[in-house]
Structure 1
Amino acid sequence: MRSFTPVERRARLGRRHFLTAESRAADIDEVVTKMVGLHATDPATPYLTLWARVPGFGRDHLHTALYDSRSVVKHLAMRRTLWMVRSCDLPTIQTVSSDRVAADERRRLIADAEKSAVAPDGAVWLDTACAAVLEHLRRHGPTSARELRAALPELAGSHDPAPGKNWGGTTPLAPRVLTVLGVRGDIVRGPNDGGWAVSRPRWTLREHWLDGGDAHVPADQGALDIVGRWLRTFGPATATDVKWWFGHTLTWARQTLRGLGAVEVDLHGGIGYVLPDDLDSEPEPEPWAALLPGLDVTTMGWFDRDWYLGEHRAEVFDRNGNGGPTAWWNGRIVGGWGQDGDGRVVVRLLEDVGRDGATALTRRADELSAWLNGARVSPRFPSPVMKA
């Protein structure tokens, strides 16, 4: 059985995630294609993720891709997380992950509408509200959530998830109606009324925003396509990694790996998988440093993270498993980063990385400070090391 040491896995990570000097990506499309998607829950994350991987990347490049050429789009998918994916991959992502999330979101919303006495039949209420939103967008074009709530009485209603509890509180159901419509692929996030680090999307019909919006991909075919692409970039990986990343069951993960003909390999004592043509050894790259944003797709890339995270989990992940901004040296997380009062990027190390490592990370911090040019980034899920 082929064995992969942590050192070799970190070498693969550096090259395949476009983080070493010789493996930088040519453009946005190359990164999003090979990594399947980029985390976008925090609106600044895709921009910073691409800055770390594409030489010469500017904020206007992603703005053009999102809103002019529309080659990429934000969509709720794996693990009920907001992703930025290629528009041409949306039918596959929809089949593989989003349909599963959509069914869960619809079921919960119907139950909460009935529980809160918004309607005696939550399904009828939800279908009526969805139809009203679609008709409004068909007539008026891209519209903000606030404008939809003001225009459509069908969206009225609220729910308190924990009556009498200090962590509860009455919240409107209208945003959840838009979530259902979005995750099932009827509407998408169109023009953004906020800046690059602020999310204020106008919702629009998918068919009005994207070409080929009605394409359908069979579930089995879609799984083989998307998991195969993911495994080439993130492999070797365990079945649990696949299950977690795609938000599916372990049975589904194992069936898909079998369908790909994935080969079992030894991961420092455990069982992992790679594609059958991906067993060549990986030489160590030249030393490399990286500063990645909160929720970066590499930081969040595996369920089993000890081989690149070591003892720093409690410092760089919050209690809900959200990774904050991280500093990397030669394939390992060695600290975090934030901004000082003047907006300059500052690295805080959690271990001694030697003079070369410290110098390389300081250089990347200076480069990121120059790129931000005074703009401040406030991660939605700051890590303990960043708070400190």
Structure 2
Amino acid sequence: MAKTRHIDAAERRARLVRRQLPEPAAQSAEQVTESLVALHSTDPASVFLSVAARSRVGAADVERALYDDRTLVRMAGMRRTVFVVTDPMAAVVHSSTTAPMAEKALRDMLKLGFRGGTLDAAWVAEVEDSIVAHLSGLPEATSTELSALEPRLREPVVYAPGTKWETEQTAGTRIMRKLAMDGRIVRGRPKGSWTSSQYRWQIAPEPLPDLPAGDARAALVRAWLASYGPGTEADLKWWTGWTLTQVRAALKAVAAVPVTLDEGAGFVLPDDVDAPGAAPDRAALLPALDPTPMGWQGRGWYFPDDAKAALFDRSGNVGPTVWWQGRVVGGWAQRADGDVVWRLLADVGTDAEKAVAVEAERLAAWIGDVRVTPRFRTALERELAG
């Protein structure tokens, strides 16, 4: 019987650098996205800055892929988070993750109610069909514009009635989100710059293919292991938001090979057991919610414990990070005058400091006149921004 291979933290960091932090090159926004499986889009600026950290692609090229060519798709996905994925990956994410989320979103919506009344599935379906009909006659529209055409979107519904969390929401907030999860509408170009989240809605160009859920989960795990492996069951369960039973079934479907990690049991793809070789020295400035720092539940092998208070907010959202040789070594921010400033939280030597300075200058030039403030701010980012 072959001995189970051990992959230590140093090798994991080398894999991370080679696969997720290459030197910026002439690769497209689609290639960057595919290499990371999905880009976090809860903060829209993160998509653009994640691409900028790994390529020479400009913001206009990312916008073209998102809104004109539609080779990149913004959609709700893993852990009910909004991501950007490549067009082929959209069907995989939808069938493995988003479609079950839409079913739960409807169940959750029906637990709400109007003041003095109930909310039922027939009413929701009628409003959804009305929105789709209105959008079918328009190139695009914001939620505010649609609520003028369909006033029922403005109906107040009660969240957590009778509890200390009781509050009112508009029905439209949840209905628009569910329509997008169902794949009937898509987020279009926002109002404002690429940092804006005031999206215009459009009719989906075409329905997403309906893949068998088990096959879709296997395809997503295969993609994740190819980019993030080795990883643990806990990493995959956290990243996908699936049950442990679903994670284990997907690992079995891709014939994942067990390995041991410093933290315990892990998995790699069958063709990824051997060590990839040493990685080049690489400095990188990654944005808030970048997929690399948010790629694993267990982060001790690349994220020092003593840096977490400065670089995460209270809800577990990571802020802008500075990397060297596959490890988080500091944080950065943009000041009001446009300067990109950074601080190292570890002694990494003068070569690393010079490399970080070069990346900071490159990033400032890439951002140009735009001002970027992360949606979820961290202690160090606030301090550096001034």
| TM-score between the two structures when normalised by the length of structure 1 | 0.93
Structure 1 partner of 2:72: 72
- 2:124 equivalent among 123, 126, 131: 126
Structure 2 partner of 1:342: 337
Query: What is the CA distance between 1:140 and its match in structure 2?
Result: 2.7
Structure 1 partner of 2:33: 32
The residue identity in structure 2 corresponding to 1:8 is E
- 2:359 equivalent among 351, 364, 382: 364
Structure 2 residue 166 is the aligned partner of structure 1 residue 171: no
Structure 1 partner of 2:314: 319
> Residue 191 of structure 1 aligns to a residue in which SS?
strand
Structure 1 partner of 2:202: 204
Distance in 1, matches of 2:107 and 2:370, equals: 41
Distance in 2, matches of 1:58 and 1:361, equals: 20
8 Å contact kept, 1:20–1:285: no
Structure 2 partner of 1:12: 15
Structure 2 partner of 1:299: 293
Structure 1 partner of 2:231: 237
Q: Deviations over 1:79-138 (max 9, x none)?
A: 010011112322221110101211221111111135x44x43422221121111111112
Distance in 1, matches of 2:248 and 2:285, equals: 34
Q: Deviations over 1:246-298 (max 9, x none)?
A: 11011111111011110110101400000111011132222110000000010
Distance 1:4 1:24, change over 3 A: farther
Distance 1:88 1:137, change over 3 A: same
Distance in 2, matches of 1:269 and 1:191, equals: 43
Structure 1 partner of 2:211: 217
Distance in 2, matches of 1:155 and 1:318, equals: 33
The residue identity in structure 2 corresponding to 1:372 is I
Distance in 1, matches of 2:129 and 2:280, equals: 56
| TM-score between the two structures when normalised by the length of structure 2 | 0.93
Distance in 2, matches of 1:100 and 1:164, equals: 28
Distance 1:53 1:214, change over 3 A: closer
- 2:264 equivalent among 263, 270, 275: 270
Instruction: Name which of structure 1's ranges 257-266 and 218-227 shifts more when overlaid on structure 2.
Output: 218-227
Distance 1:269 1:68, change over 3 A: closer
8 Å contact kept, 2:321–2:330: yes
Distance in 2, matches of 1:321 and 1:353, equals: 26
> Residue 265 of structure 1 aligns to a residue in which SS?
strand
Structure 1 partner of 2:103: 103
Query: What is the CA distance between 1:165 and its match in structure 2?
Result: 8.5
Distance in 1, matches of 2:135 and 2:336, equals: 43
- 1:250 equivalent among 234, 238, 244: 244
Question: For structure 1, which runs of at least 5 residues remain unmatched after alignment?
Answer: none
Q: Deviations over 1:362-386 (max 9, x none)?
A: 1111111111123210100112221
Q: Deviations over 1:54-85 (max 9, x none)?
A: 1x210111111111111111001110100111
Paired residues in the alignment total 379
Distance in 1, matches of 2:63 and 2:266, equals: 38
Distance in 2, matches of 1:50 and 1:152, equals: 37
8 Å contact kept, 1:342–1:374: no
Query: What is the CA distance between 1:167 and its match in structure 2?
Result: 6.9
Structure 2 partner of 1:285: 279
8 Å contact kept, 2:334–2:373: no
Structure 2 partner of 1:44: 45
> Residue 42 of structure 2 aligns to a residue in which SS?
coil
The residue identity in structure 2 corresponding to 1:377 is V
Distance in 2, matches of 1:58 and 1:149, equals: 34
Distance 1:371 1:166, change over 3 A: farther
Structure 2 partner of 1:139: 137
The residue identity in structure 2 corresponding to 1:308 is Y
Identity %: 38
Distance in 2, matches of 1:272 and 1:316, equals: 26
The residue identity in structure 1 corresponding to 2:61 is H
Structure 2 partner of 1:330: 325
The residue identity in structure 1 corresponding to 2:183 is G
8 Å contact kept, 1:149–1:156: yes
Q: Deviations over 1:227-258 (max 9, x none)?
A: 10111110000011111111101111111101
Distance 1:350 1:205, change over 3 A: same
> Residue 64 of structure 2 aligns to a residue in which SS?
helix
Distance 1:303 1:162, change over 3 A: same
Distance in 1, matches of 2:218 and 2:313, equals: 32
The residue identity in structure 2 corresponding to 1:15 is R
